[in-house]
Amino acid sequence: MLALAGCGGQPGFERPDADASLLLDGRPDAIDSGIYLAHERGYDEAEGVTLHVSPSRHGLAALESGRAEMAIVSIEDLARARERGRDVVGVMAAVQEPVPGAAAPRTRPRPPRYPQLVLATTRAVLADREPVVRATIRALQRGYAEAQDDPDSAVATLTGAVRGLDSARLSAQMDQVAPAFTAGAAAYGQLRSSALRAWAAWAVRAGVLRRAPDLASTFDTDLVPTPPS
């Protein structure tokens, strides 16, 4: 708990006191509830980063051009960008398994449990602003913990922040997606090597990807704080 509260003096828990942009994967919905809660309740500033959140269908392009520091993207799009030589990297799982409302490829082989949406950045941002990325991850861990514990507040925060969202529809969405926030993980956001390996093998068998990505360069699995084993 001290780590998630932003305690100083431990490696990886610096307070950068900086702004950062975070792009969503399209129009906000229940999957993004923890992000909005983290910002609305000031968890981002408590961890030393002020997040500027906005929707986008072009998160990877914005990362590559330097117009954004971080973006929520599909794991398949991240892998395809790596195939094209783009130096983007997944640093946190937004969900631990495919969820309703997130586009999934229609394939015959049954998919394993895998992080369908991930928080991505670039190696350049990690090199220059790793404390900002770490602070963002800590803030989102706190936000998603609140979203799971108090889904009604998560829905209220979303509808208050984004015009045109239907609270009844969001409540139904929350019931579906909240379990996926931490399903099988030791902590929110954890990128599990076993799940990534299973996903990569499945994606090739299913024809989602032409070849399995190099997981070590596609993901940084060491940035998300997890409880001691």
Q: Exposed, middle or buried by CB within 10 Å (0-12, 13-18, 19+), for 54?
A: exposed
Q: Band of the pLDDT at 9, cuts 50, 70, 90?
A: very low
User: Encoding tokens for residue 46?
Assistant: 């408590």
Q: What mean pLDDT do residues 16-38 have?
A: 96
Q: At residue 151, what is the residue type?
A: P
CA 152 to chain centre: 21
The set of residues, in sequence order, having a beta carbon less than 8 Å from that of 147 and lying 6+ positions away, is: 33, 34, 37, 153, 154, 174, 178, 181
- Phi, psi for residue 168 in degrees, rounded to 5: -65, -40
Q: How far apart are CA 64 and CA 57, in angstroms?
A: 14
List pLDDT tens digits, range 150-194.
999 999 999 999 999 999 999 999 999 999 999 999 999 999 999
Residue scoring higher pLDDT (175 or 105) = 175
What is the CATH T-level fold of the domain 18-218, as seen in this structure?
A: D-Maltodextrin-Binding Protein; domain 2 (3.40.190)
- Phi, psi for residue 180 in degrees, rounded to 5: -75, -15
DSSP H or E segment with residue 19: strand 18-25
Domain boundaries, the chain: 18-218
Q: What mean pLDDT do residues 57-86 have?
A: 95
Q: How far apart are CA 167 and CA 162, in angstroms?
A: 11
